Amino acid sequence: MKYIYELHKTMVSRKLMLVYEGEFTQEITKSVLSMAERNMDSIGEESGIKRKVFNVMVECLQNIVKHADEFSAVVDMRNSAIFMIGKENDDYVITSGNPIKGDKVDLLRNKLDEINSLDKEGLKALYKEIIKNGDLSDKGGAGLGFVDMARKSGQKLEYDFEPLENNVFFFSLKTTISRKALD
């Protein structure tokens, strides 16, 4: 039972407002969004910040749901993913993680590196280009969600790929949204 207290201490020390680990469905996604929104309402967060946080949360959760069906029995974790939102000083930190197939790692890394190399105007231009050229996959891809997350946060997207087994990697993504006014 001590692990519950240790988990609680970790959540408090890292100022985590919400953590969910497990299978993600549209219904669970709606519940997670609703809980996070209530939490921000309870602390009196301003609507502009809530809107940015909510937008990034939606993109993270949609990414998890879109890719959850690819892992029936490939790894022990199956459809297991994680989503967290916390506050650090004047920032909201949204972190997600989910398994992805190894053949997607280079493409995803290249997209994220391209997005992280752009300034505000470059992100705007890339967003318009993706919309215009419609390079969208059947899962909605093309990186539009990542571009939108970078635009809303005004920060670089942090990511990592942890090797699992059977050419599967655990993709972690961290987005930081400042509560201070962005230029």
Q: What's the pLDDT tens digit per position in 83-102?
A: 999 988 889 999 999 988 89
- Mean pLDDT per 10-residue interval, the chain, length 183 residues: 90 89 86 90 89 92 75 56 90 92 91 95 92 64 85 95 90 92 51
Q: 66-80: per-residue pLDDT in tens?
A: 766 565 545 555 558
Domain boundaries, the chain: 2-178
Nearest to 106 by CA among 33, 156, 159, 59: 159
Question: 3-state SS string over the chain?
Answer: CHHHHHHHHHHHHCCEEEEEEECCCHHHHHHHHHHHHHHHHHCCCCHHHHHHHHHHHHHHHHHHHHHHCCCCCCCCCCCCEEEEEEEECCEEEEEEEEEEEHHHHHHHHHHHHHHHHCCHHHHHHHHHHHHHHCCCCCCCCCCHHHHHHHHHHCCCCEEEEEECCCCEEEEEEEEEEECCCCC
Whole-model pTM: value is: 0.86
Tokens 């009196």 sit at which residue?
A: 44
CATH class for the region spanning 2-178: alpha beta
| pLDDT score at 63 | 84
Identify the pLDDT of residue 183: 44
Partner residues linked to 137 by β-bridges: none
Q: List all residues 6 or more positions away from 106 whose beta carbon is below 8 Å from its beta carbon.
A: none
Q: How many CB atoms lie within 10 A of CB 23?
A: 13
Sheet holding 81-88, edge to edge: 16-22, 81-88, 91-101, 168-178, 158-163
